[in-house]
């Protein structure tokens, strides 16, 4: 492990020791108070590594400016990473395990639970011979998504401050809230941040660059039924549980997450709650093409209308809420961010893929609000679960790509 990797790793271990799980059921902003306290902790560190104008705003966004050290003209570049971890798996008491100098064999995550990683279960490990690999201990997720992104940005600022001979323009950093539930970045003040373009450091595998993403809505189906004794239910009862099951099972099987890939869209029905009086179905709608996306929503609307006719005694309500939209067209219209990124990738000899993410990042909303923001890989894999891992060599590549972007932006 070289000096850059060591500094990033040390920061990462400190960051993941702080539990910052976001909560999709919360009405607060941010959704959990731990994100606010973590933001203040990061703000203190930002001042130490060279950022000025550091602040934590009312919503919990920590921002700062690394001032230019050249008289030459340069755009204002933003680097983003999010503070929260996903609620789908335990994010408390994270204890990273360092596996030095990976030899190509099996990595033990947790022997007692018989949890292992190998090139058979994680094929990209084949690309990491000799790398230092980091995993969790089998009881939590790792938190590489996205605290490794924070560690990279902070270490880069420290490095540039310590090496004034490396000339760069103004660099802004933002550590953001509630990315995992898709709500936080809507509160971010893009105009006040005042960057020309930006990058989220929140992708996974080495070389993956997200310059497009799903259009995304959440969907809620609320069913109010009519309950009575089952012995006298004929012609009267409207069972919300059965109606919910009927709606879900009627959705086409070729338009589900488990039957689609690439740029194919889907609807995921992910939560059902309720009983004989009321039931609620929570889901998400995802599609890269906006026309197809609207067609998916129309199909579900028509399906629900059919069930209203089938179950006239029940009340069935359908609600869509916008989450984010595809940033692809914005990045084509304002190409500077992608041009600098591709040049940096080539300079650092990274074989890369321009992908349409089957998900979303804060960058998708930022782009649509006027701040072009593609997503750069951060070096982790298998996020949101106990088999998450990262390569510190991949992470260091991210560091050098950001350094190249900063240097090459000078005109």
Which of 90-104, 125-139, 142-156, 208-222 shows the lowest mean pLDDT across its residues?
208-222
Residue 109, classified by CB atoms within 10 Å of its CB into exposed (0-12), middle (13-18) or buried (19+), is buried
339-355 mean pLDDT: 95
Residue 357 pLDDT greater than 80, yes or no = no
Say yes or no to pLDDT of 349 above 80.
Answer: yes
Longest CA span, the chain: 84
Of the candidates 373, 399, 275, the one whose C-alpha atom is nearest the C-alpha of residue 4 is 399
Mean pLDDT value across the chain: 95
pLDDT digits (tens, 9 = 90+) for 1-13: 899 999 999 999 9
Annotated domain spans of the chain: 3-213+326-408, 215-323
Mean pLDDT confidence for 308-326: 93
Which of 81, 202, 83 is CA-nearest to residue 153? 81
Q: Do the beta carbons of residue 164 and residue 70 sit within 8 Å?
A: no
Which of 84, 145, 146, 180 is the catalytic position? 84
> Residue 66 pairs with which residues in a beta bridge?
171
Query: 286: which 2 tokens?
Result: 């995802």
- Give the span between the Cα atoms of 17 and 218, in whole angstroms: 31
CA distance 394 to 381: 11
pLDDT bucket at 18, cuts 50 / 70 / 90: very high
Q: Report which of 300, 267, 400, 293 is spatially closest to residue 343, judged by C-alpha positions.
A: 400
* Residue listed under structure tokens 């279960």: 121
The dotted CATH code for 215-323 is 3.30.70.360
Calculate mean pLDDT across residues 200-205.
Answer: 91
pLDDT over 90 (residue 268): yes
pLDDT tens, position by position, 227-247: 988 998 898 999 999 999 999
Residue tagged active-site, from 131, 179, 196, 403 = 179
> How do 171-176 and 77-82 pair as beta strands?
parallel
Structural domain 3-213+326-408, CATH architecture: 3-Layer(aba) Sandwich (3.40)
How many helices (H) and strands (E) would you count in the chain? 10, 18
Question: What is the arithmetic mean of pLDDT over 354-365?
Answer: 81
What single string gives the DSSP state of each residue in 28-74? SSSSSHHHHHHHHHHHHHHHHHT-EEEEE-TT--EEEEE----SS--
Please check whether residue 375 is in contact with residue 203, taking contact to mean a CB–CB distance below 8 angstroms: yes
> Is the Cα torsion angle 318, 320, 321, 323 positive or negative in sign?
positive
- 388 is a catalytic site residue: no
404's enclosing H/E stretch is helix 392-408
**pTM score, whole prediction:** 0.82
Q: What percent of the chain has pLDDT over 90?
A: 87
Q: What is the pLDDT of residues 37-82, one digit of tens each?
A: 999 999 999 999 999 999 999 999 999 999 999 999 999 999 999 9
What is the structure's pLDDT at 365? 86
Cβ atoms of 357 and 181 closer than 8 Å: no
- Whole-angstrom CA distances from 26 to 22, 30, 31, 32, 202 are 9, 9, 5, 8, 24
Token pair, residue 338, equals 């992608």
pLDDT reported for residue 328: 85
Closest residue by Cα to residue 266 from 311, 215, 326: 215
SS3 137: coil
pLDDT computed for residue 213 by the predictor: 84
Position 361 pLDDT exceeds 90: no
Question: CA angle, 332 as apex, 330 and 337 as ends, to 5°?
Answer: 85
Q: HEC profile for 203-223?
A: ECCCCEEEEEECEEEEEEEEE
At 360 the pLDDT is 67
* Percent of the chain surpassing pLDDT 70: 100
- Is 179 catalytic? The answer is yes
Residue 88 clears pLDDT 90, i.e. is over it: no
């Amino acid at each position: 492990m070289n000096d850059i990797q060591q500094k990033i790793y040390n920061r990462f271990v400190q960051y993941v020791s702080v539990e910052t799980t976001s909560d999709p059921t919360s009405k607060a902003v941010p959704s959990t108070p731990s994100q606010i306290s973590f933001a203040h902790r990061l703000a203190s560190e930002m001042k130490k590594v060279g950022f000025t104008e550091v602040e934590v705003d009312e919503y919990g966004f920590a921002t700062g400016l690394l001032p230019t050290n050249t008289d030459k003209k340069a755009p204002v570049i933003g680097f983003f990473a999010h503070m929260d971890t996903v609620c789908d798996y335990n994010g408390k008491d994270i204890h990273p395990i360092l596996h030095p100098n990976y030899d190509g064999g099996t990595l033990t995550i947790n022997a007692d639970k018989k949890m292992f990683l190998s090139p058979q279960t994680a094929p990209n490990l084949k690309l990491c011979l000799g790398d230092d690999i980091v995993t969790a201990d089998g009881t939590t997720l790792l938190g590489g998504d996205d605290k490794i992104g924070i560690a990279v940005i902070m270490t880069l600022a420290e490095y540039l401050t310590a090496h004034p001979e490396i000339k760069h323009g103004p660099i802004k950093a933002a550590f953001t809230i509630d990315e995992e539930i898709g709500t936080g970045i809507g509160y971010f003040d893009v105009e006040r941040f005042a960057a020309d373009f930006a990058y989220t450091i929140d992708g996974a595998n080495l070389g993956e660059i997200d310059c497009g993403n799903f259009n995304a809505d959440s969907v809620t189906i609320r069913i109010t039924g009519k309950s009575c004794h089952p012995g006298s239910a004929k012609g009267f009862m409207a069972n919300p549980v059965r109606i919910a099951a009927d709606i879900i099972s009627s959705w086409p099987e070729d338009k589900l997450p488990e039957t689609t890939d690439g740029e194919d869209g889907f609807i995921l029905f992910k939560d059902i709650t309720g009983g004989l009086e009321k039931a609620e179905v929570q889901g998400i709608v995802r599609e890269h093409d906006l026309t197809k996306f609207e067609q998916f929503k129309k199909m579900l609307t028509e399906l629900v209308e059919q069930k209203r006719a089938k179950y006239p005694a029940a009340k069935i309500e359908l609600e869509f809420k916008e989450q984010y939209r595809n940033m692809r067209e914005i990045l084509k219209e304002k190409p500077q961010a992608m041009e600098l990124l591709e040049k940096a990738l080539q300079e650092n000899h990274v074989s890369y893929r321009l992908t349409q993410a089957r998900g979303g990042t804060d960058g998708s909303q930022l782009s649509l609000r006027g701040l072009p923001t593609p997503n750069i890989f951060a070096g982790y894999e298998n996020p949101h679960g106990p088999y998450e891992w990262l390569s510190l060599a991949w992470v260091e590549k991210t560091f050098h790509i950001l350094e190249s972007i900063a240097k090459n932006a000078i005109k």
